[in-house]
Structure 1
Amino acid sequence: MVPNGWEFTTFENHIDLLSGFAFKSAQYTENSDDIRLLRGDNIAPNTLRWDGVKTWDKHQYAELQKYHLRENDFVIAMDRTWVSSGLKVAEVTKNDLPCLLVQRVARIRSLPTLEQSLLRQYFSSHRFEQYVKGVQTETAVPHISSKQIKEFPLLLPLLPEQRKIAQILSTWDRGIATTEKLIDASKQQKNALMQQLLTGKKRLVNPETGKAFEGEWEEVKLNQIANITMGSSPKSESYNEVGIGLPLLQGNADIKARKSAPRIYTSQITKECNVNDILLSVRAPVGTVAKSLHNACIGRGIASIQAKKNIVQEFVYQWLLAFEPKWERFSQGSTFEAVNSNDIKTLHISLPVFQEQQKIASVLTGADKEIELLEAKLAHLKQEKKALMQQLLTGKRRVKVAETEAA
């Protein structure tokens, strides 16, 4: 049922869509003063990235006016439109200009019947994502056509109500963006803390003495302070979804938000981990660290780590988190990058006394909890906005428009 005053239509009647120009790669330049070319590789979900950018002779810029991009234009990659992190659709900002539109990228502007700022909401909607997934051509390089974009169906109110809807949803966008910035800042602060505290460059106050901890740290190998269990995969015939045996942790696919998240069970138990064990991915991507919420069977993609007596488990966890980016140098460069038991056991770790381990772990765990609270807030905001979009963009929930606007 079409809401009163709305129309059932498609993008084709309300957008100006332009496909990019076929620039010849042989004529790309490397001069930083030249004009950036906006290719599909430069589009990520909700943002443009300019690493590895190609450029074009600035003296030819005026000749290509048709392909000039403007602030608030939307661009969508026509090839590989959908990636794991979302749709490759982004809004052009002032900082992205000047740039030129390249073949296999579409530029979208609203016509006078569609509020430009409302496009942001359509492109970020679950409906548009599902639409693209449903219509894109599945070949070696999945792609979507200009025609398919234009055929996207929508219910559209008159301009005053469009503007009001866009205004309301933009308020939520600002809240989401602010929370994302807070999360990024908190993560940077925590990383800085890790670099200081886990190396002894910054010493915390000993609550027993009221003074900073003193004394040299001891350098040890990881297997001297922790029990390390390398996983072993059970036979696939033992896999089941009905809870027989133990949950199976095979690799990164069974880790979500740094917690174990098993997908299946196994009735054949090979190697086990316990609740609160540290989980370490030993196959690509190598080095991902998490905590086990389960007594589980671990496959060959996982190692479990449990601190020995008089060693603080949380300190070892935080140290492995800090070490996570460095695992790349241990990878073996094969089709399936991996690290072996010896690589893990012989990791060198500097270790303070037990009380200082506890204090460092407490500070870093507190930082993690702050980040988790912000991430939970962000997830809530996104879910609330999604529900609101489903109401506002279908007319199930109407907004009040001032009489002056309606006129």
Structure 2
Amino acid sequence: MNTLTNPQWRNVRLGDIGQSLIGLTYSPSNVKRSGTLVLRSSNIQDGELAFDDNVYVDCAIPEKIRTRENDILICVRNGSRRLIGKSAILDRRVSGQTFGAFMAVYRSDLNPFLRYFFQSDDFKRQIDEHLGATINQITNGSLNGFVVTLPSESEQQAITERLQDGDRLIATLKRLISKKHAIKQGMMQELLTGRTRLPGFKQAWSRATLGRISKVTMGQSPVGSSYNTKGNGLPLIQGNADVSKRATIERVWTSSPTKISEPGNVILTVRAPVGHAAIASHRICLGRGVCGLDAGKDNSFLFHLLVSSESRWSLFSQGSTFTAVGSNEVDSFTIDWPCDPEERSAIAKVLQDADQEIDALQRRLESVSSIKQGMMQELLTGRVRLPVGGQAR
């Protein structure tokens, strides 16, 4: 690769090489359990098609807004500005379907190449310039007026093939991560219930409560004046918004911490919704909506046990506008508990190893995605060139 500038590259408007189409307007009475799939913003996740939240309609649909393979689906109107411009290329799974009025389809013969332009910083910059301070949509006319830099056909093909290689590796890693998650889920269901025992362990299991096997500390929000976003004091963890499956999410700090959890302790959400668990990587302040559990050497085992028991917390939900549990419900929550501490440690080690394998794959996926994004910015601007027709450019 050589960082050369090619004067043969040309700037063209999207409207000159293809067409933008605005999607279907339909009424609630058109929505059915089956029929024609209406692709919406939720059908684009991480630049790929997703089918977890589908809407189907039964109504007349103009042929021109029936989707085709290699159409590029774009979110052009949304209450969240950050979602405007997200896109995905369509495949044969959705050929002949349609798309909603807050979406657009861009159709051209160059879409295998242009799909990467729609993911690029240049496209995002043009969106930002168009949106300004108050406008929260891209019109058809504006989209057709966006400018893309095109190399020759042979170089378009070379760039497309190189970036598709990256896409294939990313897809492979995602499938592998999904498979590893499923394997770990199966391991948890077997090992954390005693249905499958690790070699060498035969001692009975018992029923225990969280209050018996751990020290429970219910969270309490500090005074509002102590909150800050500059990292002064301890991270303040409050409710489900700050707790993922395995980690706390730090957005706010407090200079006057009240209830404190030490590194390695288990964090459990007790409000909206209940039952999400995490491990504290360092000292944190327990705010409203969370509690801390300290089971000593068994913290890792307890964490995995709580992750596997998450659905059971719905039985303890109370309140008319949110779900929440108090200290009594946390203390009395029952779990299956191996009586042999060595078995608890061994199970935790197996599940930790599985987590570490998934984490390593996730880091590799993030690295490959970052490399591909960097390649895309270099190749689509001509700052880095690929060999074409056997000649280095």
What is the alpha-carbon distance in structure 1 between the residues aligned to residue 129 and residue 224 of structure 2? 32
- Give the TM-score, by structure 2 length: 0.87
1:307 to 295, 317, 320: 295
Preserved CA contact (<8 Å) 1:40 1:79: no
Change over 3 Å in CA distance of 1:40–1:297 after alignment to 2: closer
What is the alpha-carbon distance in structure 2 between the residues aligned to residue 326 and residue 85 of structure 1? 34
Amino acid at match of 1:397: V
2:174 to 176, 180, 185: 180
Cα deviation for residue 283 of structure 1 reads: 3.0
Preserved CA contact (<8 Å) 2:234 2:285: yes
Q: In the alignment, is residue 343 of structure 1 matched against residue 329 of structure 2?
A: yes
Q: In the alignment, is residue 197 of structure 1 matched against residue 200 of structure 2?
A: no
Change over 3 Å in CA distance of 1:128–1:255 after alignment to 2: farther
Q: In the alignment, is residue 124 of structure 1 matched against residue 125 of structure 2?
A: no
Preserved CA contact (<8 Å) 2:14 2:148: yes
Amino acid at match of 2:105: R
The answer for the alignment partner of 1:78 in structure 2 is: 76
- Give the TM-score, by structure 1 length: 0.84
Q: Output the aligned Cα RMSD.
A: 3.0
1:9 to 3, 9, 12: 12
What is the alpha-carbon distance in structure 2 between the residues aligned to residue 349 and residue 297 of structure 1? 26
Q: In the alignment, is residue 145 of structure 1 matched against residue 145 of structure 2?
A: no
Deviates more, 1:220-229 or 1:340-349: 340-349
Change over 3 Å in CA distance of 1:54–1:86 after alignment to 2: same
Cα deviation for residue 336 of structure 1 reads: 4.6
Query: What does residue range 32-71 of structure 1 map to in structure 2 within 5 Å?
Result: 32=34, 34-40=35-41, 42-45=43-46, 46-49=48-51, 51-56=53-58, 64-71=62-69
Instruction: In structure 1, list runs of 5 or more residues that go unmatched.
Output: 207-212
Q: In the alignment, is residue 259 of structure 1 matched against residue 247 of structure 2?
A: yes
What is the alpha-carbon distance in structure 2 between the residues aligned to residue 83 and residue 326 of structure 1? 37
Amino acid at match of 2:305: W
Deviates more, 1:185-194 or 1:14-23: 14-23
The answer for the alignment partner of 1:276 in structure 2 is: 264
Cα deviation for residue 293 of structure 1 reads: 1.6
Amino acid at match of 1:35: T
What is the alpha-carbon distance in structure 2 between the residues aligned to residue 40 and residue 85 of structure 1? 8
Residues 211-264 of structure 1: per-residue CA shift (max 9 Å, x gap)? xx2243100111110111111111122234565543333345545773345344
What is the alpha-carbon distance in structure 1 between the residues aligned to residue 342 and residue 388 of structure 2? 63
Amino acid at match of 1:223: G
What is the alpha-carbon distance in structure 1 between the residues aligned to residue 245 and residue 373 of structure 2? 21
Change over 3 Å in CA distance of 1:280–1:126 after alignment to 2: farther
The answer for the alignment partner of 1:378 in structure 2 is: 365
Residues 145-173 of structure 1: per-residue CA shift (max 9 Å, x gap)? 22232233332212221111111111001
The answer for the alignment partner of 2:104 in structure 1 is: 106
Preserved CA contact (<8 Å) 1:77 1:104: yes
Change over 3 Å in CA distance of 1:327–1:122 after alignment to 2: farther
Q: In the alignment, is residue 332 of structure 1 matched against residue 334 of structure 2?
A: no
Aligned residue for 1:276, secondary structure, equals coil
Deviates more, 1:85-94 or 1:285-294: 85-94
Preserved CA contact (<8 Å) 2:19 2:144: no
What is the alpha-carbon distance in structure 1 between the residues aligned to residue 295 and residue 259 of structure 2? 17
1:358 to 345, 360, 384: 345
The answer for the alignment partner of 1:250 in structure 2 is: 238
What is the alpha-carbon distance in structure 2 between the residues aligned to residue 85 and residue 41 of structure 1? 10
Change over 3 Å in CA distance of 1:91–1:200 after alignment to 2: same
What is the alpha-carbon distance in structure 2 between the residues aligned to residue 148 and residue 81 of structure 1? 19
Cα deviation for residue 200 of structure 1 reads: 0.8
Q: Which has the higher contact order (CA 8 A, sep 6+)?
A: 2
The answer for the alignment partner of 1:222 in structure 2 is: 210
Deviates more, 1:254-263 or 1:388-397: 254-263
Between the aligned residues of both structures, percent identity stands at 34
Amino acid at match of 2:75: A
1:293 to 261, 276, 281: 281
Cα deviation for residue 374 of structure 1 reads: 0.3
What is the alpha-carbon distance in structure 1 between the residues aligned to residue 83 and residue 212 of structure 2? 40
Preserved CA contact (<8 Å) 1:40 1:78: no
Aligned residue for 1:338, secondary structure, equals coil
Preserved CA contact (<8 Å) 2:263 2:280: yes
Residues 298-349 of structure 1: per-residue CA shift (max 9 Å, x gap)? 21132111105xx622110110111234434444355454332222222110
Cα deviation for residue 205 of structure 1 reads: 0.5
The answer for the alignment partner of 1:171 in structure 2 is: 165
Instruction: In structure 2, list runs of 5 or more residues that go unmatched.
Output: none
Cα deviation for residue 373 of structure 1 reads: 0.4
What is the alpha-carbon distance in structure 2 between the residues aligned to residue 87 and residue 348 of structure 1? 48
What is the alpha-carbon distance in structure 1 between the residues aligned to residue 67 and residue 178 of structure 2? 29
Preserved CA contact (<8 Å) 1:6 1:157: yes
Aligned residue for 2:274, secondary structure, equals coil
The answer for the alignment partner of 2:156 in structure 1 is: 162
The answer for the alignment partner of 1:210 in structure 2 is: none
Preserved CA contact (<8 Å) 2:81 2:136: no
